[in-house]
Structure 1
């Protein structure tokens, strides 16, 4: 799929890997579209498998949700170059394999390469890291990417928001991602008002 952002339009790179939680990437694409943000999508091979298993979505449906779609092996893609301007990259969800690749500069596919480019250009990189329990290798890789400037953001529920459904829990995390990208969520977000207000 081809496409281009309009002049002045924000652009965000969205990657989906094989970790559980593909719905986060799906919902992020939807919210970014509703915010008028152009999206460049990359899905790993394992990501496609998890996506279909967890959501039932077919490839064409997800590709149509993005402004531009790139194959994970498309090394000549625009997002593989630092000269391609964008407003941030989000890997949602981020597998521990992808985390390790980013942490150690092992650019073996377009997702890892685009993440490395985002870091070297000092742009926003957000990793919705999905694994539990965490090994020492996972923790050290998270430290490495954080030291390089990435934001490690495990998709944890905020129970103070009193979510009444799984969708509400997913939406809350995705809207927190939008906060990190300085993009106003398309719907009102429940924010912490302090204990006195909660009571």
Structure 2
């Protein structure tokens, strides 16, 4: 693994941008958890604990990119270092914006594990008007930001396939729950809105 993620030169500025973005993401995650709360047993709905296998595969993908030495040999004030930090900050801003707006739109519907509630709503507004899985798109931007900030581009060789395999594992289970609860309404939504990238896929 260490050989795979042999670092490319990066800068303290890029690492600082990554740390700032990560702190903002953790804040968004805390707010999402607070809004969601815990469903009461009487609320009904369904839960698919098997989606956590997808979370595990995604996490291994992130580890493939994140683990390894970091070589901060770029001069902090150089144009390349400044540009690198700006791209990292932009990618993390996209991650945070997608996560925050999506989890806010979902409200009590948001959860890490695939589930629906008895009072679950089919959320089609906010970023869900453009893509069905904005959080997964945002997390992919997170992975790219991490690879750039840490200088671990080689880790993407393993990280990207694992991330998308894990994402597919989660999406298929989540879609099955939504189809079971909303039927034709979800099918109509899925027919007009792509999963990850507007108008593409």
Query: TM-score by structure 1 length?
Result: 0.29
Larger radius of gyration: 2
Which structure is higher in helix share? 2
Which structure is higher in strand share? 1
Greater relative contact order structure (CA < 8 Å, 6+ sep): 2
Query: TM-score by structure 2 length?
Result: 0.29
